[in-house]
Structures are given as structure tokens and as C-alpha cells.
Amino acid sequence: MIELEKLFKAGVHFGHQKRRWCPKMEPYIWGFKSNVHLIDISKTAYQLEKASKFLKELVGEGKTVLWVGTKKPAQEAVKAAAKQLDMPYVNHRWIGGTLSNFAQVKKSVTKYLHYKDILAKADKYPHYTKKELNVISKAAGRLEQNVGGILNLKWPVSALIIVDVIKEGSALREATTMGIPVIALVDTNADPSLVDFVIPANDDSPRAIQVLIDYLAAAAQKGKDTFDKQKEKERLAKQEERESAKAKKEPKVVAKKESAPAKKVAAEPKKAAPKAVAKKVEPKVAAKKDEAKEEKKAEPKTVAKKETKKATTVKKDTK
């Protein structure tokens, strides 16, 4: 919890004049001095801690929070906190329908981005005159003030942080109609009935606003850190799953590579089969050669038989 002395030194306890008070803020008023109401800073510290815990849980889940503070004392504090957390903010003028009719507001965002692109490429592609570029730069400047902080606005918006409920009445009404929880700094002259997390405080002092916004930003930063760590763990777990899946696939590939040579070795005897056939064919050829030799050997005998026959016939004739 924030120190009460810090709140006291920042002037958080100063309210408005008694005649301008809202009776619904009575539970948060300690008393008055010189016809000026004084806020009970113990209740401010309690409500601030309650809101910061809610904000930490919300940002820890990776949800979007919109920071709103268009009055001069709050502009710089809101802008610095939102930029530090990389969150959307509105610090110049609340555009009606930012929450309830964002499709139309998005047209202004696209127009601003288009003008910005034209100005960035003006030197490279000189399609516009100096006067036209001057008109475009002025229009881009106006749009940057109005929608420059909501370029990275992502839906759904999970919470709204408001400085001065009276000044940001339209934003508060839109948030309540959309069912978006609101954390707000509420002074003694404002109605806290539409606010979910009331932080009773002086909403006119830059020091008081700075202290409270910094405390809320620190809580949001803690939530963001936890979300980033969780996201990193999930990323590492997915990476390990991929590596394990690859490791499971690798042995199968090795087995296939090892089985491939075995198939080749098994196929080699089939190639050697024709040699065995050739060996078997050789005896047949040899047998044919032997038959031919035998025939040749048998021929003289027939000739001899014929000669004997002739000899016998010749003997008979001589007789």
C-alpha cells in the first residue's frame, strides 16, 4: 500500500468548496477547513490499492486498458504512463463513439495514417504542391492530437482509467453502456455512482495526479511483466515440443537408411543367378559335342561294314 505521507505531501487530500460538493462523496470526506472539504487519505490509499490489484490482474491476462485524461494537469502524466506500458491513451479530446462506434472513429485513424504516409514520401514522390503539403500537415497534426494515442487500440477494451469524472463524462457514459469497468480519480464535487473503482482524490493538482497515475502504472507494469514471462514460458514449451517431435522422427529415418543397404545386399544374389544358369548350360553344350564326336567315330565303322559287304560280293563273283 502507498504511504499516507506521500499522498499528504502531494496534496491529494484537498477537495472543493463545501457549496460545490456532491452528497454521494460523503463517505470519503474527512472534514473541512476554510470552507474546503478534506478527503480522507486512508480511504484513498485503500481504494488505490484495490484498483491497482484489479489492474495488475487485468494486465497480467494480456488485456487492453485505455487511459483517459484530457485536462491540462493530467495530459502529460497520462501520456507518459500509457507510452511506458505501450497502451492506448486519450489526452487531448475524447471523440464521441470511441467505444460505442469505433468503426467510424477508425476512419479518422486511417485518414491520419494516410496523411502521415504522404508527408513521409513527399521528398521521394513530389506529387503535391507546397500549399497542399502544408494543408495536409496541419490536418495530420489535428488528427494526431485526437487519435494519435489510439492507433494501437485493440478490442475488446477491458478497463478505462479516467482522471476527473466531470471532464470525461462522455467517456464514462460510453464505458457504462458498453459494460467496461472504470477506475477513476473522483473529487468531492463529482458523482461516483457510475465508477466501479472510486479513488477519492484531488483531480486538479498535477502533483497529486502524477503520484496516483504512477502508482497505477507501476501495478500495470507488474502485471505486464508476469504476462510476458508466461508468454515466454509458453513459447519455450512449444519449442521443446517441436524439438521432441523432430527427435522422435529422426530414428525412423535412420532405420530406413539402414534397411536400404540390406535390400541392396539381398538383391545381389538375384543378379548372380544368370551365372549359375550359364554353368548349367555348359554341360549340355559339352554333351552335344560328345555326341558329335561319337557320330564321327561311328562313321568309319559303317564304312568298314560297307567295305566288307563289297568284299564278300566280289568273292562270290570270282567263284
The tens digit of pLDDT for each residue in 73-124 reads 999 999 999 999 999 999 999 998 899 888 889 999 999 999 999 999 888 8
Asked if the structure places residue 294 within a domain, the reply is: no
More confident residue, 315 or 232: 232
Please state, as a whole number, how many other Cβ atoms lie within 10 Å of the Cβ of residue 83. 12
Give the contacts of 287 (CB within 8 A, at least 6 positions apart).
none
Query: What are the beta bridge partners of residue 89?
Result: 67
The tens digit of pLDDT for each residue in 196-209 reads 999 999 989 999 99
Cα separation values, 109 from 43, 146, 147, 150, 157, Å: 40, 9, 6, 8, 17
Q: What is the DSSP letter of 24?
A: G
Confidence at 166, pLDDT banded by 50, 70, 90 = very high
DSSP 63-116: -EEEEE--SHHHHHHHHHHHHHHT--EE-S-PPTTTTT-HHHHHHHHHHHHHHH
Question: In the predicted model, what is the mean pLDDT of residues 2-22?
Answer: 88
The tens digit of pLDDT for each residue in 278-310 reads 444 444 545 555 555 555 554 544 444 445 444
CA pseudo-torsion sign 222, 228, 229, 234: positive
Asked if the structure places residue 286 within a domain, the reply is: no
Please state, as a whole number, how many other Cβ atoms lie within 10 Å of the Cβ of residue 201. 30
Which pLDDT score is estimated for 248?
81
Helix 130-147 vs helix 102-120: angle between axes, to the nearest 10 degrees? 140
- pLDDT averaged over every residue in the chain: 82
- The residue segments making up the domain with residue 100 are 4-234
Number of domains in the chain: 1
Which pLDDT score is estimated for 179?
92
User: What's the whole-model pTM score?
Assistant: 0.72
The tens digit of pLDDT for each residue in 137-153 reads 999 999 999 998 999 88
Which pLDDT score is estimated for 303?
45
Asked if the structure places residue 91 within a domain, the reply is: yes
Asked if the structure places residue 261 within a domain, the reply is: no
Asked if the structure places residue 287 within a domain, the reply is: no
Asked if the structure places residue 247 within a domain, the reply is: no
Instruction: Determine the straight-line distance between the first and last CA of the chain, rounded to whole angstroms.
Output: 163
Which pLDDT score is estimated for 244?
85
The tens digit of pLDDT for each residue in 23-76 reads 999 999 998 888 889 999 999 999 999 999 999 999 999 899 999 999 999 999
Asked if the structure places residue 80 within a domain, the reply is: yes
CA pseudo-torsion sign 149, 154, 155, 159: negative
Asked if the structure places residue 279 within a domain, the reply is: no
For residue 20, what is the domain's CATH number?
3.40.50.10490
